[in-house]
Structure 1
Amino acid sequence: MRLSPLYVSVHATEPDVRIRLLKNPRAGQILEQLRWFQERRLQIHAQVVVCPGINDGIHLERTLLDLAQFYTGDLPAVASTAVVPVGLTRFRPQEDELISVTGEKAREVIAQVQRLQEKFKHQLGSTFAWLADEWFLIAREELPTESDYGDYPQIGNGVGSIRLFLKQFQTAATERLPKGLEIPRRGTWVVGNAVEKAFEPVVERFNAVAGLEINMVALSSDYWGQEITVTGLLTGQDLLKGLTGKDLGEMILLPGLMLKHGDTRFLDDMTVAEVADQLKTPIIPVNGVEELIDGAIGNRE
């Protein structure tokens, strides 16, 4: 049985900070636990969720430097670390001490981690600490280039997922998008407003097809109480609020990650059929770039 690599939520290596975050008196033993993994040649990928005022600043730097000490030998105990911004909703307990990540804080963390990345590249031969895409979306800064992500070791934590999507779309569009449609087609692609700027090239490529018009509508989530929202957190209620009264064309292209796994329900338990009925527009759930393209040109009716 293969036990590693494992994915471990570290968040902080200083005992008092980690205990404060996890509300667990044993949480301060993380470095001892990592040494246990190292002795047994077991490997992990670490995650650090940055909570402003608690584990940011000097605490974040201490955590990344501590974790980097385990990047040694032919099988590093800590293979990589993802640095992720805390995501908050209106449903969280008011006494949890957490505050949202602002654009200013995002820019501060990006600069701090990028300085450490250069140090790690020089000392370890690896970027080691990777910034989740959300940092750049919140900061309204350009995403790193595709080459900066290497072999995407932290894709599961949203590190490089947008660049990978754009790369996959470009490849699939070359193979699947025609120069023009015999029957004109117009529709709406719904996404979270966090990715609006990043996905503009996708819309431009669609609309370069003669007879095809795809409009991107980027929404935030009133349901979760968020001003900046990733696509996967949009709910049926958010779609109704954001799309009602708009000219949506012939169909709505709906990213499947808005839906519960293997289900047609949004996170608020509204169904695709209910939302489509109220908007009086067919909804086409799409998973991945190929389904998105096929839905846009009418191959997924």
Structure 2
Amino acid sequence: MEYQPNVKRITGEGGVIAHVADQSIAAQIGLRPGDTLVAIDGQQLRDVIDYRFAMAEARVTLLVRTADGRERTVIIDKDPDEDLGVEFTEPLFDRLRTCNNKCPFCFLTQMPKGFRKTLYLKDDDYRLSFLYANFVTFTNLSEADWVRIEQQRLSPLYISVHATDPFWRAIMLGKRDVPDVREQIKRLGRAGIRVHTQIVACPQVNDGEVLRQSIEDLIALHPIVESISVVPVGLTKFRFEGKAPKTIRAAIQVHETPEWIDTNWERQPLWEDPTTIPLSNDNRSPHDPALGFCSRLGMVTDVPLRCYTPAEAAAVIDLIEPFQARCYAQFGLHLVYASDEFYLLAGRPIPLAERYDDMPQYSNGVGMVRDFLDNWARVRRRLPARIARPTTLALVCGTLVAPMMEQVAVRLNRVENLSVQVVPVINQFFGETVTVSGLLTAQDVIPALRASGCERALLPRVMFDYTGERTIDDYTPGRISAESGMPVALAGEADELVRYVRALAQHE
């Protein structure tokens, strides 16, 4: 799950200290958790990036506000590579940059009410892109933002492209007058900044020839563009309040409902903008810039917003793989990658590790399955021959990866006294179209665990937040354990699974 900031802790007054390392500079000068680092050398700190740049000097002057409200100034002489030894409650100290798009596939508009507020926050902050590899659209930048990116060399950055053609990108972002992402990437390249890009593909919208052109355009921008991922659109049953699939246009208009129109995105022209000219009354091209954005969209948005079929997923793979071969011959790397989900949905074999190069988009679901399989082949040799006492273990996962986990269970069941049952959880909460482990809710997992009859459970780490503490529906591992009636543990990597079984072998 991408890093999600807690806006309650972003005060605009500096960085609130969460932890002070023992014997650090901060400890020596008496900084404590709860103190706020307001400025360094007279420069107000906007985020942890400013802090890191300011600390690269041999002498720094700190302005600190203590937890009880007192201000003090501290001058420090240090090695330029030395850090204060503090951690902050949040990486951003000032206003979070929110999203000003109306993407038809936006996951936040596909969630029911009642979750914690941070899950409804439409963040689109380039600083989180630099710090945590969050994908952002680059549609909300001021010239001052550009200057800062270039001066501080914030590289690499992660950009959601979706389509390189401005007309199609406007559709995918649900807004008019989108900047030309190709020119933006070129500007970053001139500043020595590299980018990773993603395309969220929607059937019959930005796939096919639109996808082919987008990939061509991004390949032409290598080496500025270091990777291109294509991931399938994900839709929940709440997309249209549980009704049958509707159109791209209807999905954009969801952002214009009272529930969303006054939230944290910058106001954009509504679909029924009275200044636009309907295409039905005009013979001009939909690309004519004289037309308003919504009018220019025309009939191309009257197609269903839906998930990929296995055959369509295979077609996307078939489009991408020749590009990989071409890029490898030309650059020595494959550059463009279909996400694991496409291969699993199509029933295709997962490519070998070398096809993913150095796995630059691992956290975006590109290469995770191959990495797990390869690590499993390596670490399963360390499994014990037997465990201390007969134990039944539930191996929880989403339905998409269940066939792969069944292969893992076959080997685990060769351990004497261990009986492993794969528990693929159908996502009743978000709908059966949501098949990934990362969007499982405790409300679906707990009944599945009870029905399994197992004594213990291993849960996928990806179903918890960035810290591993809470599911999307706000359950902790401890609460899941209490309500399911069995001990639970988390595992994300193959070696974590093996370590867990080895611990059982030593448990009397």
- Answering whether residue 218 of structure 2 is matched by residue 64 of structure 1, we say no
1:39 aligns to what? Answer: 190
Give the Cα–Cα distance (whole angstroms) in 2 for the partners of residues 288 and 98 of structure 1: 34
Q: Which runs of 5+ in 2 are unaligned?
A: 1-151, 241-245, 252-303
CA contact (8 A) 1:18 1:28 kept: no
Give the Cα–Cα distance (whole angstroms) in 2 for the partners of residues 34 and 260 of structure 1: 31
Residues 155-234 of structure 1 correspond to what in structure 2 (within 5 A)?
155-175=362-382, 177-234=383-440
Give the Cα–Cα distance (whole angstroms) in 2 for the partners of residues 65 and 236 of structure 1: 42
1:87 aligns to what? Answer: 234
Give the Cα–Cα distance (whole angstroms) in 1 for the partners of residues 348 and 197 of structure 2: 25
Give the deviation of 1:263 after TM superposition: 5.2
Select the residue among 115, 134, 138 that pairs with 2:345: 138
Give the Cα–Cα distance (whole angstroms) in 1 for the partners of residues 457 and 309 of structure 2: 31
SS of structure 2 residue aligned to 1:196: helix
Select the residue among 227, 243, 262 that pairs with 2:449: 243
SS of structure 1 residue aligned to 2:204: coil
Identity between Structure 1 and Structure 2 (%):
33
CA contact (8 A) 1:5 1:45 kept: yes
Give the Cα–Cα distance (whole angstroms) in 2 for the partners of residues 52 and 214 of structure 1: 38
Q: Which runs of 5+ in 1 are unaligned?
A: none
Query: Residue deviations 1:95-125, cap 9 Å, x none?
Result: 2162111112101101111122222223333
1:258 aligns to what? Answer: 463
1:4 aligns to what? Answer: 155
1:147 aligns to what? Answer: 354
1:100 aligns to what? Answer: 307
Residues 264-283 of structure 1 correspond to what in structure 2 (within 5 A)?
264-283=469-488
Residues 124, 286 of structure 1: alpha-carbon distance in 2 compared, 3 angstrom cutoff: closer
CA contact (8 A) 1:15 1:29 kept: yes
Give the Cα–Cα distance (whole angstroms) in 2 for the partners of residues 126 and 240 of structure 1: 43
Q: Give the alignment's Cα RMSD to 1 decimal.
A: 2.1
SS of structure 2 residue aligned to 1:226: coil
- Answering whether residue 460 of structure 2 is matched by residue 289 of structure 1, we say no
Give the deviation of 1:251 after TM superposition: 0.4
Give the deviation of 1:81 after TM superposition: 0.4
Normalising to structure 2: TM-score of the pair? 0.55
Query: Residue deviations 1:209-267, cap 9 Å, x none?
Result: 2222211111221111133511111111111343333322x201112221223354321
CA contact (8 A) 1:187 1:296 kept: no
Select the residue among 116, 129, 134 that pairs with 2:336: 129
> What is the one-letter code of the residue matched to 1:59?
V
> What is the one-letter code of the residue matched to 1:137?
L
SS of structure 1 residue aligned to 2:164: coil
Give the deviation of 1:190 after TM superposition: 0.3
Give the Cα–Cα distance (whole angstroms) in 2 for the partners of residues 7 and 22 of structure 1: 16
Give the deviation of 1:55 after TM superposition: 0.5
> What is the one-letter code of the residue matched to 2:499?
D
Deviates more, 1:204-213 or 1:115-124: 115-124
CA contact (8 A) 1:233 1:258 kept: yes
Give the Cα–Cα distance (whole angstroms) in 1 for the partners of residues 379 and 481 of structure 2: 28
> What is the one-letter code of the residue matched to 1:38?
G
2:320 aligns to what? Answer: 113
SS of structure 1 residue aligned to 2:423: strand
Give the deviation of 1:42 after TM superposition: 1.6
Query: Residue deviations 1:162-191, cap 9 Å, x none?
Result: 11112223333323x112223232211101
CA contact (8 A) 2:463 2:471 kept: yes
Give the Cα–Cα distance (whole angstroms) in 2 for the partners of residues 188 and 233 of structure 1: 18
Runs of 4+ in structure 1 off by over 4 angstroms are none
SS of structure 1 residue aligned to 2:236: coil
> What is the one-letter code of the residue matched to 1:115?
P
SS of structure 2 residue aligned to 1:198: helix
Residues 213, 297 of structure 1: alpha-carbon distance in 2 compared, 3 angstrom cutoff: farther
Normalising to structure 1: TM-score of the pair? 0.90
Select the residue among 23, 29, 35 that pairs with 2:174: 23
Query: Residue deviations 1:119-152, cap 9 Å, x none?
Result: 2223333211111100011112211122222211
Query: Which protein shows a greater Rg?
Result: 2
Q: May I ask how many residue pairs the two structures share in their alignment?
A: 295
> What is the one-letter code of the residue matched to 1:58?
E
Give the Cα–Cα distance (whole angstroms) in 1 for the partners of residues 476 and 364 of structure 2: 27
CA contact (8 A) 1:236 1:272 kept: no
Deviates more, 1:279-288 or 1:136-145: 279-288
